[in-house]
Structure 1
Amino acid sequence: MSEFPSIMVSGLDYNRLMNLIDSVANQNLPSVETLEMELERAEVIDSDKMPANIITMNSTAVVTDSKGTERRLTLVYPRDANFDEGKISILAPVGVAILGLSVGQSINWALPNGESIKLKIQSIEFQPEAAGEFTL
């Protein structure tokens, strides 16, 4: 994981995610520190200026992994996570990995078991900002 692609995060997502980090800080979750590092390196832009090809919170995207497996994932807050429905928590390793990526970007990401996975964003089926939903 020596090289990370550039990422964009909306101001609304940034503020909500920083509040989430504060609310779970005492739980010692490794993904919280990783999420914080991702937010520190992200370009934060106004929600109404977010390009439609960026994964934001509550976006649904099609991704492929290094084994060629295609998945439809929706990036959600922990309370809305449901793996069987493809709703992936921002605090899951794959959730942190895809936040702020754009269509066509790839990232190598270390999993908790020590393995690494490469993810590529194929398409975005829904993005709240592109749909004019600025409160999701």
Structure 2
Amino acid sequence: MGNEIILTELDYLRLNSLIYRLLDERNQNIRELNFLNIEIRTAKKVAPKKIKPNVVTMGSSIEVTFVETGKTIELKLVYPHEANHEDGQISVLSSLGCALLGAKVGDSISYRTSEGTQTVKIGKVLFQPEANGIDLT
């Protein structure tokens, strides 16, 4: 929705490497990989120590509210191999995960689902690795 995407330099490097590795492996998620590639390339990159604690980074746990239903849930943004929907661990390659990456508390994020477009609002960042002294180098 026109919100600036902010990434740590470390997340950018890791995600860029992931994209190229999965493309080399001829991963089936070509559309998602291309979308993520565009998102990270256009994002503002900052040093991990300078990222604000209200920004969603890889490994962040956040509280989101579905605008259409008012339902609030907790999610954790993870790499594809860590994804587990039952535990609320959402892959950065999913439509929602990619949309959340680099967003801030208060942002409303729209993403595509098989049923159409949904919108969530980021209520809180419950845990961010960088704000807790993790992933700073």
* TMscore range, shorter length: over 0.9
Q: How high is the sequence identity, in percent, across the aligned residues?
A: 35
Amino acid at match of 1:105: D
Given the alignment of the two structures, is residue 32 of structure 1 paired with residue 28 of structure 2, yes or no?
A: no
Does the aligned pair in 1 maintain the 2:96–2:112 contact within 8 Å? no
Aligned to 2:122: 121
Amino acid at match of 1:92: S
Given the alignment of the two structures, is residue 15 of structure 1 paired with residue 16 of structure 2, yes or no?
A: no
Pick the aligned partner of 1:5 from 3, 6, 10.
Answer: 3
Does the aligned pair in 2 maintain the 1:4–1:107 contact within 8 Å? no
Aligned to 2:93: 91
Amino acid at match of 1:47: P
**SS of 2:130's equivalent?**
coil
Q: Partners in 1 of 2:101 and 2:63 — Cα distance?
A: 13
Structure 1 unmatched ranges of 5 or more: none
Structure 2 unmatched ranges of 5 or more: none
Q: Which runs of 4+ in 1 moved over 4 A?
A: none
Amino acid at match of 2:65: T
**TM-score normalized by structure 1?**
0.92
**SS of 1:27's equivalent?**
coil
Q: Partners in 2 of 1:123 and 1:51 — Cα distance?
A: 13
**TM-score normalized by structure 2?**
0.92
Does the aligned pair in 2 maintain the 1:57–1:75 contact within 8 Å? yes
Q: Partners in 2 of 1:20 and 1:132 — Cα distance?
A: 23
Report the CA distance between 1:107 and its aligned residue: 1.6
Report the CA distance between 1:121 and its aligned residue: 0.4
Does the aligned pair in 2 maintain the 1:60–1:126 contact within 8 Å? yes
Amino acid at match of 2:56: I
Q: Partners in 2 of 1:61 and 1:128 — Cα distance?
A: 12
Aligned to 1:109: 111
- Please report the RMSD computed on the Cα atoms of aligned residues, expressed in angstroms: 1.5
Report the CA distance between 1:28 and its aligned residue: 3.8
Q: Partners in 1 of 2:109 and 2:88 — Cα distance?
A: 19
Distance 1:36 1:46, change over 3 A: same
